Amino acid sequence: MEDLIAWSDVYLIGIDEIDEQHEKFFKVVHEFYMDILNCEGENAVEETLEFLKSYALEHFQSEEAFMKKHEYPRIEEHKKIHEEFIEKFDTLADQFNTFGPSQGLADEALDMTQNWLAEHILDVDAQYAKHVNQI
């Protein structure tokens, strides 16, 4: 079983707007996991799934706009990582629609959302934050 990672200052990249979005992203991801685990019924899970996707898209858009504004040289590479996340997420949604909620699917969902996000923040998001803070 996957563990829930508590939000902490480790994940702050020093850009308030983005930090707030990351914290919310964590919360939504946990809600999503709990909904699947509690077998909240397909509608609740579907709703959270949709909300999570739209929240991710919105968040990626603000990051990309921010990187563009600050002329971050590796923006294309970063955008590609965001796109890949959405693609994987769509695959997960398909699996959910086909097989319904399960512990296995909940764990997979948490791994590809929470664990992905934690690593993404510490690695590639921290890189553009460093670039912006150096200007």
Residues that bind Fe ion (CB under 5 A): 63, 125
Tell me the closest approach of the beta carbon of residue 120 to Fe ion, in angstroms.
Answer: 6
Query: Assign residue 31 a region: left if phi > 0, alpha if psi is -120 to 50, beta otherwise?
Result: alpha
Q: Which is nearer to Fe ion, 21 or 105 (CB)?
A: 21
Task: Give least dist CB 128 to Fe ion, A.
Answer: 8
Alpha helix locations (H) across the chain? 16-37, 42-69, 75-99, 103-110, 116-120, 126-134
| Nearer CB in complex with Fe ion: 14/100 | 14
Q: Residue 62 or 103: which CB sits closer to Fe ion?
A: 62
CB of 48 to Fe ion, least distance (A): 21
Say if CB 114 and CB 5 are below 8 A apart: yes
